[in-house]
Amino acid sequence: MDRAKLFIYRRWLQQGQRDLNAAEVLRRNDVYEWATFLAHQAAERVLKAYLYYHDETSVIGHSIRSLVHKCGARDAAFEAIHDAGKLDDFYAAPRFPDSFAEEVPAYAVTPEQAEVAVKLARKAVDMVNKLAPREG
């Protein structure tokens, strides 16, 4: 097993898992805008972990749809999480006060949106963990 690839993979995976845990804490504490953003980050990081492990040298961009598509080109199992692409809606809008016409993100992002975002991120994390490289 290539130790350098495994090191990079683990770094990205660990941060993605931590982001997901933080998103869950924020959602439970009614900080919905940041919960959705961190859910996006969690999915982005674990999908990039998978791609880096599988010899992608530069994974540019933040689109979950695109990352799922790239992962799916390597393993058809990623088709099961195609709906994680909905997380793209939470990359920019939750962070900027002028993203919503009438309200700031703190009041515009709903509990339901945060719950869905965290669930979608969990699916991405679970998928990458399921397909994780095995040492040995």
Q: What is the pLDDT of residues 24-63, one digit of tens each?
A: 999 999 999 999 999 999 999 999 999 999 988 788 899 9
Flag whether pLDDT at 136 surpasses 60.
Answer: no
Distance CA 55, CA 35 (A): 31
Contacts of 51 (CB under 8 A, 6+ apart): 59, 67, 70, 71, 74
Model-level pTM?
A: 0.93
Distance CA 14, CA 86 (A): 23
Q: Confirm if 117 and 40 have CB atoms less than 8 A apart.
A: yes
Distance CA 70, CA 65 (A): 9
At 11-20, the pLDDT tens digits run 999 999 999 9
Place 2 in a pLDDT band, splitting at 50, 70 and 90. confident
Flag whether pLDDT at 116 surpasses 90.
Answer: yes
pLDDT of 72 reads 97
Class of domain 3-130 (CATH, top level)? mainly alpha
Contacts of 14 (CB under 8 A, 6+ apart): none
